[in-house]
Structure 1
Amino acid sequence: MKIVHLAKDEKFLPLARSLFEEAFPGANTFVVRQRSGRAPTFLKPGPKVRYRRGIFFRLPWLMPELWGADVAVIHSMTKHHACAVRGLPKRTLVVWIGYGYDYYGLLSNRIGGYWFDRTEALMKKMGILERHLDTMRSHVALVAHRINVFSVNPSETDMVRAALPQLNATYHALPSFTVEDIFAQGDARMSGLDVLLGQSSSPHNNHLEMFEVLRDTLPAAARLIVPLSYGDSRYADHVEQVGRTLFGDRFIAMRNWMPIAEYQQKISSCGFVVMNHRRQKAVGNISSGLYRGAKVFLQRTNPLFGFFTELGAVVYPIDLLGTDPAAAWQPLSAELQQANRQAIEHRFGRTQVLARIRALEGFLTQHRQAA
């Protein structure tokens, strides 16, 4: 079997490659769009990792990696990836792994906006609102009819189907994380009074609104640890400035990217995780927090709230931090920590994830029989 992967040069790729290679040894080739003036970051070029300029995606018949592919796995449906999919023969099974940003433009009418008022006002003032809206533009509709298997957050499956009536694909979850490779790395537990707020310097974290809540409710002995290592650097500068003004030395900005084990060690003092996103984001950080014993707070309207609840995990609405801070800042009981750990293991255990990847061979057989 020949499997070709179309992907961006992102931090998720090394693990994805490792998992697919374990599931289908020697069958995988990754084709990554080469960005002008940027050296490869997360995957090193080699016989099975090819960096191609955009023209190859726009004219996919020029891309030999696609010739004779049995399966094409699309890691986020960017504009360039959609162009390539349009050139694939019918015999090729097309598998789309949605990353959120590549389909959320289709769901805004169903889940509301992405930002709260203060954050959106800041984005307008900084002149970055239109750019961020542009990154949410979806290209899936161009090739929805050609997708055979798709993976998005389970709680969003019906919304995606409603937004893409031409999508007749089979839903099949393909998680991007495993317990063993991500959540169990570094310090084994997350405990203490410190609070992990957000997971990047993206406005989707809605930091400013959360600062207003935490300035009055954050326990006196707690620190606010805020990852700002990737995303919009100007936005990160503003968040850090406001954070230091409001919280002083208790505000800890994490501005430099670090390996996962080191990152896990840095946040091990955080017994509380607060993610103020209105959309599906930070699945890895949330899952890791639940697995490692932290108490997690999410927006109730975020589709991830329902997703983790349906897994059997216990998450809390962010509103509780303002309405009943005394209860909110109580750590999880040992019983709830164990329940959360088991829920994450059941969903993201490496054995389970590999089994779901190997199931693609069955989908290929069905696809060929139906052709």
Structure 2
Amino acid sequence: MILHLINDEKIVNRTIESYEAVLNNENVFIVFCNKGSGNFVPKFVRSRNNVIFYDEKCDRIERDFSDFNKIFIHLLDIRKINFVRKYIRHTPTIYWGIWGGDIYPTLLAGRGYQLFSPENSYLKRNKIKRNLLLLLNYYKIKSRKIEKFIHEKVDYIGGDDGDILLLKQYLGVSKKKFKSFAYPYDVILGEKLKQCRVDEQSKCILCGNSASYTNNQEYVLNFLKKMGVDSSYKVKMPLSYGGDKEYISLIIEKGKQYFGENYIPILDFLPLNQYNQLFIDARICIYGSWRQEAFGNIIIALYLGSKIFMSKNNPLTGSLKELGFSLFIIEEATQESFFEPLSELDKEKNRELIIDLYSLERRQQLIMQYFSDRD
């Protein structure tokens, strides 16, 4: 039996469905929700027989978990560590699936890993606040508890190879690895959009996936200006979640300053089908993160045939290139190479790799390989 510890997030319903499709009746999901006070109400995850909604502020679980021989922690945080410390009295095998947000802000940034480009407004605006937090030792205390748990309790780590390598370099973490991913391309796109390709006549550039500070939006806008993007192009930038109002306003102001009405911030949260349409219209996609981020977006863009630019500072860039994907480096781009269309050969290669590595069938094979107790 597998006990999953997972947050109340948009992708969790399909995660549950993937595991149940392969290992039916062998999973229980503890869903952590409501970071605020009062009674918790799940925002995304649907109620099921094998789902337990949990809030440590309303801690009333009365169950023996000793029959679970595997625990899968989807995104490691203090709440899940506290849960394991309180409820798990035996010694199951513990798997940790990295999401990205669980290693960069706390574990790596505190040890000197650079997340923000120099022109990032968040870096400037929050400098005093961040220095005070460091002075109070907040991040260090938090990371010590997480590091201790990783070293003492975690048996397997799954995620991007670049993330796992950073854990070894910065924290000395060396654990057995398992393969896992959260974004099967065919589930995200559906049958109709699977048949689509990027519109090669489009003059639309899609930038990033959210208003998160680590998207380094100003870094991307400066890059586009340097590349000579003119008024014949539309620059679209999803800003519907992450960040804060002041930060988003600063990004929009710079986008309008550089590209006028051709800069289009996407401020409304779009249904998945509408969001996927953005990729079909985007011949070029830019991801300025210096950390593993927007993986699902990148998978879809590669499958549909977009030309993708990523930062050399992002470990995911190296991982994808090692797998054979054709993508381009922001810091190495020239005006000539930027506007040159992606070749049909490279499009087909990227598409075939996505089908081989990031399909629902592949995900289910990996679940069976690493989590089944069947002979």
Normalised to the residue count of structure 1, the TM-score between the two structures is 0.86
Q: Indicate if the aligned counterparts of 1:4 and 1:65 stay in contact, CA closer than 8 A.
A: no
- Residue in 1 aligned with 2:359? 349
| Other-structure match for 2:232 | 221
Matched, 1:212 2:213: no
User: How big is the shift at 1:266?
Assistant: 3.0
Structure 2 distance, partners of 1:15, 1:260, is 13
CA distance in 1, matches of 2:101, 2:313: 17
Residue 132 of structure 1 deviates from its aligned partner by 10
The change in CA–CA distance for 1:121 and 1:260 in structure 2 (over 3 A counts) is: closer
Deviation at 1:352, TM superposition (A): 1.4
Query: What SS does the corresponding residue of 1:80 show, helix, strand or coil?
Result: helix
Match status 1:266 vs 2:278: yes
> Could you list the runs of 5+ residues in structure 1 that have no partner in the other structure?
367-371
CA gap 1:125/1:260 in 2 versus in 1, 3 angstroms? same
Give the 3-state SS of the residue equivalent to 1:261 in structure 2.
helix
- After superposition, residues 326-341 of structure 1 pair within 5 angstroms as 326-341=336-351
Which one is further off, 63-72 or 91-100? Answer: 63-72
Alignment of 1:1-371 (within 5 A): 2-35=1-34, 36=36, 39-55=41-57, 62-64=61-63, 66-87=65-86, 88-104=88-104, 105-108=106-109, 112-120=113-121, 123-124=124-125, 138=143, 140-144=146-150, 145-165=152-172, 167=173, 169-183=175-189, 187=193, 188-191=196-199, 192-216=202-226, 217-234=228-245, 235-321=247-333, 324-361=334-371
Residues 320 and 329 of structure 1: CA distance in aligned 2, closer, same or farther (over 3 Å): farther
Instruction: Note closer, same or farther for the CA distance 1:32–1:121 as it changes in structure 2 (3 Å cut).
Output: closer
Is the CA contact 1:73–1:95 (under 8 Å) kept in the aligned structure 2? yes
**Cα 1:70–1:10, aligned 2, differ >3 Å: closer, same or farther?**
same
CA distance, structure 1, for counterparts of residue 98 and residue 132 of structure 2: 21
Give per-residue Cα distances to partners, 1:41-81, cap 9 Å, x unaligned. 21023432222121477x9xx45273422221111011011
Measure how far apart 1:353 and its partner are: 1.1
Runs of at least 5 residues in structure 2 that lack an aligned partner in the other structure: none
CA deviations on 1:325-358 (whole Å, 9 max, x unpaired) are: 1221111111110011112222112221111111
CA change 1:7–1:128 in 2 (3 A) is farther
Q: What whole-Å deviation, never above 9, does each CA across 1:258-311 have from its counterpart, x for those lacking one?
A: 222210113321010100111111111111111110000011121111111011
Shift in alpha-carbon separation, 1:349–1:267, aligned structure 2, 3 A: closer
1:185 shift after superposition:
6.4
How many residue pairs are counted as aligned between the two chains? 358
Percent sequence identity over aligned pairs: 21
Inter-CA distance 63–293: structure 2 relative to 1 (3 Å threshold): farther
Shift of 1:194: 0.8
Distance 1:126 1:329 in 2: 37
When structure 1 is superposed on structure 2, of 190-199 and 287-296 the one drifting more is 190-199
Q: Distance in 2 between matches of 1:283 and 1:132?
A: 30
Tell me how large the CA RMSD over aligned residues is: 2.9
